[in-house]
Copies of this chain bind each other. A is one copy, B any other.
Amino acid sequence: MATDVVPGSVGTSASFSLRLGQAIFSSASLLFMSLGVEFYSYTAFCYLVTIMGLVIPWSVTLAIVDGYSVLVKCPIRQPGILLIIVLGDWVLSILTLAAACSTASVVDLLLHADGAYCPTKFCSRYQISAAMAFLTWFLSSASSLFNLWLLPSLWW
Chain A window 36-59, contacts with chain B (Cβ cutoff 8 Å), 1 for yes, 0 for no = 000000111001000000000000
A63 at the interface (CB under 8 A from B): no
Determine, out of A23-31, A77-85, A101-109, the stretch whose residues face the partner at the interface: A101-109
Chain B residues, CB < 8 A from A94 = 97
Task: Say whether chain A's binding surface is mostly helix, strand, loop, or mixed.
Answer: helix
The docked-state distance in angstroms from the alpha carbon of A42 to that of B114 is 12
CB < 8 Å neighbour of A102 from B43, B47, B104, B152: B104
Interface residues of A in 99-156 (CB under 8 A from B): 99, 101-106, 108-109, 112, 152
A interface, size bucket: 10 to 19
Taking the nearest CB of chain B, how far is it from the CB of A45, in angstroms?
9
Chain B residues, CB < 8 A from A60 = none
B108→A44 contact, CB < 8 A: yes
In the assembled complex, 9 residue pairs joining A and B whose CB atoms fall closer than 8 Å, in A order, are A43-B109, A43-B112, A44-B109, A47-B105, A94-B97, A97-B97, A99-B101, A102-B104, A105-B105
Question: 9 tightest A-B contacts by CB?
Answer: A102-B105, A44-B105, A101-B101, A98-B101, A101-B102, A43-B108, A105-B106, A105-B105, A106-B109
